[in-house]
Structure 1
């Protein structure tokens, strides 16, 4: 069995830079987790009216309301099998924003868990997997990965509906390896087609790989959502 990303990309996976192949080869079959540590050179958000939207997302670790420069962060990718038997990979990011550190407050978290559904990676966002997002993955000319969010569904108790994109944003993430500084680079922007830029970050990090066949409980969602 190959990783969920290799299955989603198919032959395109071989076009990734070898370091990107290792990073996105994390899975139960590889028996490895990937923990990245680095610095976000910038974390940005849109105009003032985006703040309430971001603050609501913060309650379930879906969005990051803080901004800053040179912000230390950690990203933890662990494979595990969820309660529904699906191979899952955590994408949990923790940000140590300076003003929160000075106040003795815990880092901000952005939680995501990814599974494979009919050949496409599905991203569950938040501590309770409330938001399910289809991801489109492509490989750029330099062996980097480009991830674009597509349709989104909201699930909470008996409520389930396709989330109107008028009230949400589409994410585009570029991640690549640089042989110059021997580091991974990441650049994310979230935009609404009518209101423009909502949120984004840009940074660099290095990784260590750890033997793993399960994820720590602190990284797993509090609720596993069966709906796709």
Structure 2
């Protein structure tokens, strides 16, 4: 559980902080993957393939293309798509413990789906996810551990940080994301399944596949600039 005073404890990963004792129920490989902080000097780089990348109705394509300008969703789809995910832990410009989720899908034209996640110490079981290159949208993510040690992440309330007061995103326009990540013992690699849906149109996009991980050291120069957002928001 989060500390009683609501303060984030330095040196702890945002996922361990959110899950509390449940973190220890994750598969050991997922504990390693989600258990490091900015003080550990390492990153997690996943490389693999998305066996299926799907989008919903064709008329959504212009909206997905618009989102791709800030690395939020994309209009392409296909099978057996090369994939990487870059997770770096660092302290952002406001001093918050932060983890990057930079996903790259190698279509004919590479597409990125970027997010930066920060701790939400006042909300046990939750982290705040900023989407895209400019952090204009903040999403509450609710975490839970499956009986077999996988991690399920489901999105909740969404707020527009570009406006004063961070108003809630209208429910009819909300994209609900559901992610399940687990470790495949037989194959020795992580598997992931993601669906983004909308209450009115159903499927917006989704993907499923696998990746293997490595944990490179992060030197004194810090994390690469290309994984950082172009704008940071203090509003959550």
TM-score (norm 1): 0.93
Matched, 1:221 2:229: yes
> Contact (CA 8 Å) 1:79, 1:212: kept in 2 or not?
no
Deviation at 1:30, TM superposition (A): 2.8
Provide the C-alpha distance between the structure 2 equivalents of 1:132 and 1:171, rounded to a whole number of angstroms: 13
Report the structure, 1 or 2, having the larger strand content.
1
Report Cα offsets for 1:107-136 as digits up to 9, x if no partner.
111110010022431000000011100000
SS at 2:149 equivalent: coil
Which of 170, 180, 204 is the matching residue for 1:174?
180
User: Aligned Cα RMSD in Å?
Assistant: 1.4
SS at 1:79 equivalent: strand
Provide the C-alpha distance between the structure 1 equivalents of 2:153 and 2:78, rounded to a whole number of angstroms: 24
- Unaligned stretches of 5+ residues in structure 1: none
Report Cα offsets for 1:75-120 as digits up to 9, x if no partner.
00011111101111100011111xx2xxxx4x11111001002243
Deviation at 1:221, TM superposition (A): 0.4
Alignment-derived partner of residue 136 in structure 2: 130
Alignment-derived partner of residue 111 in structure 1: 114
Structure 1 stretches of at least 4 aligned residues deviating more than 2 Å after TM superposition:
155-160
Matched, 1:202 2:208: yes
TM-score (norm 2): 0.90
Provide the C-alpha distance between the structure 2 equivalents of 1:22 and 1:187, rounded to a whole number of angstroms: 19
Provide the C-alpha distance between the structure 2 equivalents of 1:126 and 1:220, rounded to a whole number of angstroms: 10
Matched, 1:32 2:32: no
